Every structure is written in structure tokens, then in C-alpha cells.
Structure 1
């Protein structure tokens, strides 16, 4: 990318990256953005040159400008790239742990994340006798409250936030046999999940299918992903609690591996 809109040269790319570095600085985060003059001061460049580059970066979604203060900060496209980079790293780090879990439980496992009020399955590891091909799930998004993983992904939300997000009088589920219908019931269910360390669903979202799910957390306790096991009820129903405990242990192992890998902040 270049300020002129033509193909980027190595020099113009380097100048654009320098601007992005400034907008990623502690000063910019503290102030909520930086103006053209301050960015130019930090870089030792002309205001007009920095202004042109910022306009080009804004058009590409790399930076955004506050309409009130006119200050610039990092844009949505960079955060989108960062999210997808983390998700790829998450799958890479989690893979050996998930495969050991599948070997222990002998059922298919899914690694899911929150994306736009949906549960997105990043990756599935099938059991040898998988009742569905793993490719059916990879990349699939379902509504947040129509899967046990959705509750896990919400389990670190404060009750006040949940009430504001969903609305106190909202009907939360359209599935045939919902156990959680209201925000009050959701708050109670999430408290149970948080205390127990994993969620259970017995034929709630799909007749004949049971599932368990546990959170993968960062060092601050924020939920990064949900690790889920699902299988036909006759095969897993009697040992669903045991599978939940194993899934929670595996999710904890993944969280510690991400921390060692540097993929999550300490």
C-alpha cells in the first residue's frame, strides 16, 4: 500500500508499518488515539506526508479515525487479521492435547470460538468410529445459544452484561427441548458451569445426542475457546460426567500450553 494508492514499494511499506507501530504504542492506547501532528512528531516526518498515508491506511481498514477527536487508532482489518492468526495458532497448539482426549474418550472433539454472536467450529478431531465426518463441522457457525459450546463461551460474562445483551424478557432458545429459556436461567446455568468447570447437555440441542464442553482460558480467566465432545446418547450418556471432567482437564492443558507458547498474555 502507498499513499498514492499505487503498488507499494518497500520504502512506502516500511513507512506505513512505522505509522502502525506508533498506533500500537502504549501512548496511543492510553490516549485512545493520536493525531496527525503527534504521529508526525514521533516519526520525524512531515504532517502532510503522514496525513496522506493515514488516509490510505484508513481506506484499507488498517486504521480508523475518531469522528469527534479526529485522532487515529488501529483499524478493524488489523484486529481481524490478529483474530485469525490467533485461531490458527490455537488449533496448532491444541491439536496434540485434543487427539489425546479423543483417544481417551473415543468420541469426536470440536474446538470452537465466539465469532459475531455465533459459535464457530475451528477444527474437529474425529473418533475412529465417528458418527459424522469431521468435515461437516469445520468452519460451521451456529447461533450462540443453540450449542453447549455457546454457554461455555459466555461463562465469563457478567450477569449485568448478559441482561443488557439479551434483554431481561427475551426468550433465549428456539430448540425443541430447551433447558435454558430466560436470562435468569442462563445466569444460573453459567454460574454452574463456572463452578463445575464444564457444561453438559443431554439431548437438549439434538435428539439422541449428548455433549460436554469446557473453556480454554487465558491467564486472566477470560474464555478464549470451548472444547466440546459430542456423541450419540446410548454411547456417551452414562459417562458424560467423566467425559466432562476429562474435557476440562484437556482445556486446562491447552491453556497452559498457549501461555508457554506466548500465544496468550501472562
Structure 2
């Protein structure tokens, strides 16, 4: 097939996908072949063949009962990958600035089910530093990043999601013991603007995290600082306020209009005093 014909076919497929992301399609149960043909101004047989090909590739899904079509899983996977790649690029300068202020390692984290995955690590200048976690996952409730990422969840959703969590297996007295403890902790995070942990993922480490919001105001990521307890414990709240500012700046870059100019109280110091 020649390049011009491929381009024409691609353009026609994109027209179908544009129709399938319209409010008419997303508010209801999808669109029928007949309706898609009407909206694109094409023959029903042409649309049917195009949809069959796209269904094989995961670009559209077909409801077996209503026979209507929606955007498929592969489109959402591609969109997520593209969005995260953009998020990493935008976050890198913010993390570097934060590390220059706090002098500790900073991370950009996202939610993966009931786990937290690190997308980006900006190392501290210290000879002894936290390990890089890029691509690795850790449990939500054991980390300040995980708690920040779910801090806007409704109580009922938290209970349903973590009712079977093994809170009783806490390795340290700081670890949350029940789902009610977790709900209280999330309320505190919403008040403070950041979360903090002490020895709950790994003994001897402390951490703080603040949520990053996208243009819709939804939590899309968390910025996290982790350091040895003997270096940061006495300055953990100061580091938390700086992390809030960093997260607010990144949120504004992502189009969130609700981020304040500073993102943290005015009394947050320029940098915590190294312990």
C-alpha cells in the first residue's frame, strides 16, 4: 500500500476515534456502527470494516450485548504512557530545585493499584543517600508518597480498598494499625498539605510527600523526599513545607488553577538546617 493511501486510511481511522471520544459516546454506552457512519459521513460497510480492524488492535472495544463501540484499552495505555512521559519531563527541574534546597534525594511517584511506583529520582549530594527506586513498587500505606496519592479519596473508598490490608503486621510502632488510623491520617494530610513517615518502609529512614494535581484538580503524582533519620528527622516538617511548594509549582505547570502562588505557608524556611 502506498504512503498516501496509508495516510488516508489513518485519517479515516482517526475520524472514527474522534467520534468515539465525543460526549455522545462517552456519556452513553458507546455508539453503533450506524451512528458512527452518520457522524463521519461514511458508508456503514466502510466503517464496519475499519472498526473490525481497530478492534483487533485494541483501539476500540465492542460491547457484546449492545454491539456498540467505545475507545479501546490500547488508546488508554498509550495515553497513560504519554502523560507520564510528559509528567517526568516537567517534574525534573522541580525535583532538582527541591534537592538543592533540602539536600536530600527527591522522587516523583505515581499510584499503581495499591502500590506506589517511582517514575523519577533526583539524587542528593550526600555520599550516603537513599537508593534509586525508579520502576519499583512499594505498598501505599507504608510510604508518605502512597498516603499523599490517596489523600483525596473518600472514606468509603479507603475502607473498601484497604479493609483487608495487614495493618497488624506493623514492623514499627509508627506504622498505621487499622483502616480507621489510615482515614485519620489522610484527614491530617489534607490539613497539613503533606504526609510524613518515620521508619515505616525501612527502619532508619524518614520521608515526606506532597500531592501533585493535574489540570482537573485530581492527584496525578506525589513528590517525595526520603533521608536517613539522623539527618532529617528534626527538619522533617520544614522539608514537608518545601515539598508542598514544589508540588504546587508542578501542579501549576500541569494547568491546575487551584495551586497558590507559594504552595505553602510563608513561614516555611528557604532550606531546612542540615541535621
**TM-score with structure 2 length normalisation?**
0.86
User: 1:119 is matched with which residue?
Assistant: 116
User: 1:10 is matched with which residue?
Assistant: 7
Counting only pairs closer than 5 Å after superposition, residues 56-135 of structure 1 correspond to structure 2 as 56-129=53-126, 131-132=128-129
**Conservation of the 8 A alpha-carbon contact between 2:212 and 2:222:** yes
User: 1:5 is matched with which residue?
Assistant: none
Equivalent residue of 2:109, what SS? Answer: strand
For residues 96 and 102 of structure 1, the distance between their equivalents in structure 2, rounded to whole angstroms, comes to: 10
* Per-residue deviation, residues 210-259 of structure 1 (Å, max 9, x unmatched): 00001001354421101000000111111011000100111001101111
TM-aligned CA deviation for residue 174 of structure 1: 4.0
Does residue 203 of structure 2 align to residue 207 of structure 1? Answer: yes
**Conservation of the 8 A alpha-carbon contact between 2:170 and 2:177:** no
* Per-residue deviation, residues 81-113 of structure 1 (Å, max 9, x unmatched): 111111111111122121111000000000000
TM-aligned CA deviation for residue 170 of structure 1: 4.4
Counting only pairs closer than 5 Å after superposition, residues 107-186 of structure 1 correspond to structure 2 as 107-129=104-126, 131-132=128-129, 136-167=132-163, 170-172=165-167, 174-177=169-172, 179-186=175-182
For residues 250 and 141 of structure 2, the distance between their equivalents in structure 1, rounded to whole angstroms, comes to: 24
For residues 210 and 133 of structure 1, the distance between their equivalents in structure 2, rounded to whole angstroms, comes to: 10
Counting only pairs closer than 5 Å after superposition, residues 216-235 of structure 1 correspond to structure 2 as 216-235=212-231
Q: Which one of 246, 252, 259 corresponds to residue 248 of structure 2?
A: 252
Equivalent residue of 2:135, what SS? Answer: coil
> RMSD value over aligned CA atoms?
2.1
TM-aligned CA deviation for residue 144 of structure 1: 2.3
**Conservation of the 8 A alpha-carbon contact between 2:148 and 2:222:** yes
For residues 139 and 124 of structure 2, the distance between their equivalents in structure 1, rounded to whole angstroms, comes to: 25
Equivalent residue of 2:253, what SS? Answer: helix
* Per-residue deviation, residues 165-186 of structure 1 (Å, max 9, x unmatched): 223x643464512521221111
- In the comparison of the two structures, how many residue pairs are matched? 253
**CA 1:133/1:71 → structure 2, altered by over 3 Å: closer, same or farther?**
same
* Per-residue deviation, residues 32-60 of structure 1 (Å, max 9, x unmatched): 31111000111121212211211221121
**Conservation of the 8 A alpha-carbon contact between 1:58 and 1:65:** yes
* Per-residue deviation, residues 183-213 of structure 1 (Å, max 9, x unmatched): 1111111000111100010112211100000
Equivalent residue of 1:83, what SS? Answer: helix
**CA 1:233/1:222 → structure 2, altered by over 3 Å: closer, same or farther?**
same
**TM-score with structure 1 length normalisation?**
0.88
TM-aligned CA deviation for residue 10 of structure 1: 1.9
Structure 2 residues not aligned, in runs of 5+: 258-275
Choose 63-72 or 208-217, whichever is displaced more: 63-72
Structure 1 residues not aligned, in runs of 5+: 1-7, 262-266
Equivalent residue of 1:9, what SS? Answer: helix
Equivalent residue of 2:202, what SS? Answer: coil
